């Protein structure tokens, strides 16, 4: 029988195969642990993936590599360092906090939950998001929000070129400057309701939304249906 | 997918264990490139001469070595020769007409000149970086800077000659490591061939080395050559170009290939993934930075 304990389970990744680290995390969850700390992740790939658990916190005490915390359903994953490409990709639900910078494809295709990056995120942050929320404390790279389908991206810093290119649905808020918007990404009016929501989303991370003048980006929906009368519009889309 | 790495020691006269650092960093990227690995190491410049690295694809290595020395002696004078595994290292007086590599390859069956320069030495082979380090005894090499590569072949065949780094033949001390594909390779190559440049392989990455070297020869700065490459090279790329003075880099307009760097007062390290940087910089307070789309950067002495 799994024994529920309030003490943190500490795992050392040094000298252990990635597969065995992930197995040990899963075993600890099965045995009822609610606090798991992983030491020396050292930028290794695919850590803390495919976890299904509620009320469990997994903390990586250092940088993680690519695909960290991908395909999770429920757990709260904290990275005390940077992460590589595609952190939290395809997450169904749960929360991922990166206390550093993130590589490209942050929160790719997430369906729910929350991803928070304290620093910058690379190119294509929030690509093909299907729900959930991505909050980036710093800047986002080229073509962030590309083809997003639902959910919300909140960027406190600046957005690079091609923001929100070919987005179907969803909303992007940018607190800093936008180098350029992508195809069919249009500026919408930021309402009081939006401001209240931004304040509520950012408050838990100690960010005062009132300190930013957020620009709201939504889909112009011109690419939803093909029209032979607008060939130029389609040519401009990728 | 490939892995690229680089290290540069800052300041006049600064040197470090380039061979071991490149080997350790390449090792961390073996998943990005299990086919082959290679490094270009820059040691102390040869005083009044050039260092040449020749690969000998021959079972009779001693005979081949003698043939290479005889061939080299026809164009210049060989001051020193040493061999580790199949990599022959020559110190020669000069290469006034830039023909040394051609003469060696024409005269000696199975000989391929990987590098000629005052400081640059290219060693590459099939397999993993750690094996290559052991095979060619790279661990003891100290120098000013270096670049390295682990290859997963996509566009050309898997053999030693098509492994990275690629020397910008015949320009001394210039070479490239590249992750990606250059889709206008044939056009660029034709254009450079019309200007009189020649290519040693069928690999698309070689064109980057010659492209940059051509611009540097024409008097352009490394910065302007790198910036021009963003528009002139079509395809996906993150590449490191190395010269006698340092390292430059560029990333394509779509940011398709990863590249990060970390630096402190003493050195800069560059790699496709943070895991490789952490092999050299375990200090968590040092935060690597990922390059943006179209970004160029360089570190020169």
- DSSP letters spanning B136-158: HTGGG--BSEEEEEEE--SSS--
First to last CA, chain B: 31
**Whole-number mean pLDDT of chain A?**
94
Same domain, yes or no: B284 and B214:
yes
Mean of pLDDT values over B260-283: 94
- What one-character DSSP code corresponds to residue A61? E
B86 and B227 in one domain?
no
The whole-angstrom separation of Cα A229 and Cα A231 is 6
Length of chain A: 238
What ipTM, to 2 d.p.?
0.82
Range of the domain at B253: 3-45+128-300
Residues B35 and B54 in one domain: no
Residues B272 and B188 in one domain: yes
Q: Is residue A125 part of a domain?
A: yes
* CA neighbor of B26 nearest in space, from B171, B181, B240: B240
Would you call B295 an interface residue with chain A, using a CB distance cutoff of 8 Å?
no
Is B181 within the bounds of a domain?
yes
What is the reported pLDDT for A4?
45
pLDDT of B100 strictly over 70: yes
Q: Could you tell me if B209 and B225 are in contact, meaning their C-beta atoms sit under 8 angstroms apart?
A: no
- Say if the Cβ atoms of A160 and B273 lie within 8 Å: no
User: How many domains does chain B divide into?
Assistant: 2
Per residue in A146-190, pLDDT (tens digit) is 999 999 999 999 999 999 999 999 999 999 999 999 999 999 999
Q: How do residues A74-123 score in pLDDT, each as one tens digit?
A: 999 999 999 999 999 999 999 999 999 999 999 999 999 999 999 999 99
- Nearest to B169, CA basis, from B96, B102, B90, B250: B102
Helix (H) or strand (E) holding A136: strand A130-136
- Is A216 part of any domain? yes
Total domain count for chain A?
A: 1
Is B144 part of any domain? yes
Q: How far apart are the first and last CA of chain A?
A: 54
Contact B80, B90 (CB under 8 A): yes
Are A105 and A124 a contacting pair, CB within 8 Å? yes
Return the active site residues of B.
2
Chain B contacts in chain A segment 152-211 (CB below 8 A): 160-161
The tokens of B188 are what? 């660029």
Q: Is B255's CB within 8 Å of A122's CB?
A: yes
Between chains, do B275 and A85 touch, taking CB under 8 Å as contact?
A: no
Helix (H, G, I), strand (E, B) or coil at B160: coil
Which residues are bridge partners to A95 per DSSP? A76, A114
Sheet holding A150-155, edge to edge: A9-12, A35-39, A57-61, A73-79, A93-98, A114-117, A130-136, A150-155, A171-174, A215-219, A185-188
* Rounded average pLDDT over B168-172: 94
**Pick from B211, B61, B40: nearest CA to B114:** B40
Segment 45-64 of chain A within 8 Å of chain B by CB: 45, 62-63
Shared-domain flag, residues B94 and B133: no
Does residue B270 sit within a domain? yes
- The shortest CB-CB distance from B275 to any of A44, A142, A161 is to A44
A207 CA: distance to closest CA in chain B (Å): 22
Q: Out of A45, A81, A141, whose CB is closest to B255?
A: A141
- On whether residue A230 sits in a domain, the answer given is yes
Based on the domain organization, do B18 and B87 belong to the same domain? no
- Where do we find the tokens 């898997």? B158
Q: What does the alpha-carbon distance between residue B41 and residue B22 come to, in Å, rounded to a whole number?
A: 9
Task: Find the helix packing angle between B206-217 and B185-194, rounded to 10°.
Answer: 40
Report if residue A115 sits inside a domain: yes
Query: Residue B94 in contact with residue B49, Cβ under 8 Å?
Result: yes
Does any domain span residue A135?
A: yes
For residue B79, being part of any structural domain is answered with yes
Q: Which domain holds residue A123?
A: 101-236
pTM for this one? 0.90
- For B278, the closest of A43, A104, A160 (CB atoms) is A43
Does residue B148 sit in the same domain as residue B169? yes
Q: What is the pLDDT of residues A183-201, one digit of tens each?
A: 999 999 999 999 999 999 9
Question: Which residues does residue B296 pair with via DSSP β-bridges, in sequence order?
Answer: B250
């Amino acid at each position: 029988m799994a024994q529920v304990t309030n003490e943190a389970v500490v795992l050392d990744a040094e000298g252990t195969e990635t597969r065995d680290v992930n197995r040990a995390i899963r075993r600890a969850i099965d045995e009822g642990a609610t606090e798991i700390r992983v030491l020396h992740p050292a930028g290794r790939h695919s850590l803390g993936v495919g976890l299904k658990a509620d009320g469990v916190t997994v903390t990586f005490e250092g940088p993680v590599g690519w695909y960290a915390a991908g395909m999770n359903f429920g757990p709260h994953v904290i990275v005390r360092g940077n992460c590589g490409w595609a952190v939290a990709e395809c997450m169904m639900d749960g929360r991922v906090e990166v206390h550093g910078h993130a590589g490209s494809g942050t929160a790719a295709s997430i369906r729910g939950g929350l991803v928070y990056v304290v620093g910058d995120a690379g190119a294509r942050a929030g690509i093909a998001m299907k729900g959930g929320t991505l909050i980036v404390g710093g800047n986002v790279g080229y073509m962030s929000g590309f083809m997003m389908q639902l959910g919300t991206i909140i960027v406190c810093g600046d957005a690079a070129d091609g923001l929100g290119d070919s987005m179907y649905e969803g909303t992007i808020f940018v607190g800093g400057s936008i180098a350029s918007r992508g195809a069919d990404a249009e500026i919408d009016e930021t309402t009081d309701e939006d401001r209240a929501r931004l304040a509520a989303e950012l408050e838990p991370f100690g960010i005062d939304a009132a300190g930013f003048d957020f620009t709201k980006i939504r889909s112009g929906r011109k690419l939803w249906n093909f029209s032979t009368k607008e060939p130029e519009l389609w040519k401009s889309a990728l | 997918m490939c892995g690229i790495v680089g290290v540069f020691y800052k300041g006049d006269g600064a040197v470090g264990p380039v061979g071991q650092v490149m080997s350790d960093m390449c090792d961390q990227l073996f998943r990005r490139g299990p086919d082959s690995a290679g490094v270009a190491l820059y040691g102390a410049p040869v005083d009044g001469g050039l260092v040449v690295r020749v690969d000998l694809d021959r079972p009779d290595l001693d005979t081949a070595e003698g043939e290479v020395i005889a061939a080299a002696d026809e164009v210049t004078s060989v001051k020193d020769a040493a061999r580790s595994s199949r990599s022959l290292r020559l110190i020669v007086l000069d290469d006034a007409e830039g023909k040394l590599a051609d003469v060696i390859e024409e005269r000696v069956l199975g000989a391929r000149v990987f590098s000629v320069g005052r400081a640059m030495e290219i060693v590459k082979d099939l397999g993993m970086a750690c094996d290559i380090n052991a095979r060619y005894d790279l661990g003891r090499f100290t120098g000013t800077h270096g670049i390295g590569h682990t290859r997963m072949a996509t566009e050309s065949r898997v053999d030693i000659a098509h492994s990275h780094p690629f020397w910008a033949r015949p320009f001394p001390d210039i070479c490239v490591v590249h992750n990606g594909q250059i889709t206008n390779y044939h056009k660029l190559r034709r254009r450079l061939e019309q200007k009189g440049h020649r290519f040693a392989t069928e690999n698309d990455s070689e064109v980057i080395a010659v492209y940059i070297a051509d611009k540097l020869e024409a008097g352009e700065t490394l910065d302007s050559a790198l910036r021009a490459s963003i528009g002139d090279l079509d395809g996906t790329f993150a590449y490191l170009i190395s010269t006698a003075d340092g390292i430059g880099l560029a990333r394509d307009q779509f940011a398709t290939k990863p590249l990060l760097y970390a630096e402190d007062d003493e050195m800069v390290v560059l790699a496709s993934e943070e895991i490789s940087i952490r092999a050299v910089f375990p200090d968590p307070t040092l935060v690597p930075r990922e390059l943006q789309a179209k970004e160029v950067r360089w570190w020169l002495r």
